[in-house]
Amino acid sequence: MMTIQELVSRFPEIPADLHGESLLAAFADAFDAQLDTARKPSACAEEHDAGNHFYLKLIGPIDIYRYGLYDRERVLDEIRQLVDGHRADPDGFVRGLLPERVARQEVRGPGCG
């Protein structure tokens, strides 16, 4: 089970004002395995692997909030929807986080370092 402290250490892009949210603890617990493999895709990625997709679906809304494009209530609602969807059907919800075809590893475009 991932704790909030482990979650925010792994993803420092999670703003400090969310660290005390009990919803974040439920999020970390529900998506422990996916968050463990999640990683931000390269800006020049042409194909995403499972870790990239998990990052985009799970951490993406929080990152959007960090940039000021979501307000606090919206990001909390996004997190709540993720947690509630997982509670209703854990296996099905996790399968739904990935598209039908997923690259085995991230594929970067030409000229990408």
* Each residue's pLDDT tens digit, 22-39: 999 999 999 999 999 999
State which residues form the domain around 25: 4-104
Contact 58, 96 (CB under 8 A): no
CA atoms of 85 and 58, how far apart (whole Å) = 12
Residue 110 lies in a domain: no
Contact 79, 39 (CB under 8 A): no
Residue 82 lies in a domain: yes
Residue 113 lies in a domain: no
What's the chain's length in residues? 113
* Average pLDDT of the chain to the nearest whole number: 96
Q: What's the pTM?
A: 0.93
